[in-house]
Amino acid sequence: MQDQLFEAIRDGNLSLVQTLIDKHPQFINMTDSRGSTPLLLAAYYNHDAIVGYLLTKGAAVDAMDASGHTALMGVCFKGYVTVAEQLIRAGANVNQTTPRGATALIYAVSFNHIALAEILLQHGADATAKDAGGQSAIAYAEAKGYDDMLQVLQKSIT
């Protein structure tokens, strides 16, 4: 039954996800073999309707997968603005870190997703927070030569 839920999420089948969660509410924060919750998986696949439904059912917005990534981090390296906004509205911690100290902002910067970086900064993301390697989002933008991103980040700290 749990495998059916994760398959329905991958397929973007909102109706089946609703049926399964309504029938088995304990599935809302369970994990698959990779440590992903239904919310993490729905966010990763950019299924905003499923993300919205899972959030209304009490999905843990800051749950981490086996690698220590949250749904917000995942959408920030994928570039999914709408899902990121949903997660932030639901209370996602914009400064949550992985075990290696990476943040959603560091992921958005690393993949040059300017719109996501702006959203995160508007909601309190720290552009100066450093990962385990001592690198901040600003340092990543500088290293990759992302001048437009660098301007966005520098505005947030002045």
How far apart, in whole angstroms, are the C-alpha atoms of residue 76 and residue 107? 6
Strand partners for 136 = 130
Q: Which amino acid is at 138?
A: I
What are the structural domains of the chain?
1-83 (1.25.40.20), 94-158 (1.25.40.20)
Question: Residue 134 has what DSSP assignment?
Answer: S
Beta-bridge partners for 78: none
d(CA 65, CA 100): 14
Region 82-86: mean pLDDT is 98
pLDDT per residue as tens digits for the range 111-158: 999 999 999 999 999 999 999 999 999 999 999 999 999 999 999 987
**Each residue's pLDDT tens digit, 3-55:** 999 999 999 999 999 999 999 999 999 999 889 999 999 999 999 999 999 99
Neighbours of 123 (CB within 10 A): 16
